[in-house]
Amino acid sequence: MAKTPPSKKSPVKGGSGRPAGLFTWLAIGLVVVVVATLVIIKVTSGATPTTASTFQATDATTLAQVTQVPTSVFNTVGIKSTVAPVTPPQAINGQPELFSTSSTGQKLPEVLYIGAEYCPFCAAQRWSTIIALSRFGTWTGLGNTESSTLPGEVFPGTQTFTFLKAKYASKYLVFSGVEEFNNIFNSALNYYSPLQKPSKADNAIFTKYDTSNYIHGITSSQNGSIPFISIGNKFLVSGSSFTPAALTGLSRTQIATGLSDPTSPVTDAIIASANYQSAAFCVLTKNQPGSVCASPAVMAAKRAMGLK
């Protein structure tokens, strides 16, 4: 069933993204306690796609900083973060594997993402997901965006990227990204303007797996949170892997530049999440490429996740 959009006054009240069930965060330079109420962003399906915002392509320098993180940074950070707890993808068993056909005609495991540009939890998650997938393939068409700055939003203006026009090429994986809404509130709709509509198959996966039946620690009232990621139907991500509070007050350039510094607390959170996701991707790729899947940080993530 489609979710009813919240009111104009508070477009995500009772519907704000869930930081993967984590409540207390260490902010940069000081301790900040964020009281989270596990409010969930609800995804409304069936809207007519439109594009009401201006697409801004990610510049070459930022793209390189995000997609070419040094191996030494991955291995130095590992799976520990001083700025915020990081939640790994959740394994599920006994489900049909998710495959898709690549641009070269290969049948490969699929990574399905469903989110929205206004969502600050999606904003945080995109950093680590883009970085992790960069170890298995190549990105083009990424764009710049930020989460909603509407009064009353949590973590307003979190700097990030959009998958709206993104293309991903890999001999190991297929990525499918759906940005359902932009970050511009549409008073006529009493909600954000729609961008992309999930396919029937994508929506079936979202409806089935982004629920308390498969996601540990949530109730049925929290079903349908975004971001949602199915990693080949073998692992699930529902809500952000780390809090968007870790990115508060930082520009996109500051975050991207810091990715070469493993001592940066923000880099710790992003890279630790990327290492966990890399470990999950390695299950789909049968531990290829070996340079990634046998790296010390990914091996540490595998051990922590109970993987071989």
Tell me the DSSP string of 9-34: SSTTTT-PPP-TT---EEETTEEE--
Classify residue 218 by burial, with Cβ atoms within 10 Å: 0-12, 13-18, 19+. buried
CA distances (Å), origin 118, targets 44, 122, 172, 177, 199? 13, 8, 30, 15, 21
- Can you tell me the distance from the alpha carbon of 102 to that of 109, in angstroms, rounded to the nearest whole number? 9
Q: In terms of pLDDT, which residue wins out, 82 or 19?
A: 82
pLDDT of residue 292: 98
By the 10 Å C-beta count (0-12 exposed, 13-18 middle, 19+ buried), 217 is classed as middle
**Whether the predicted pLDDT of 8 surpasses 50:** no
Average pLDDT rounded to a whole number, residues 129-148: 98
Residue 62 in this model has a pLDDT that exceeds 80? yes
Mean pLDDT check: name the lowest of 26-30, 44-48, 158-162, 257-261: 26-30
How confident is the model over 67-77, as pLDDT tens digits? 999 999 999 99
Is residue 36 over pLDDT 50? no
Indicate whether 6 pLDDT > 50: no
pLDDT in tens, 89-107: 999 999 999 999 998 899 9
pLDDT at 52 (0 to 100): 55
What is the model's pLDDT at position 217? 87
Give the pLDDT confidence score for residue 308 in this predicted structure: 80
23-32, 188-197, 278-287, 297-306: the lowest-pLDDT one = 23-32
pTM: 0.86
Residue 263 predicted with pLDDT over 80: yes
Query: Which pLDDT band holds residue 23 (cuts at 50, 70, 90)?
Result: very low
Between residues 54 and 154, which one has the greater pLDDT? Answer: 154
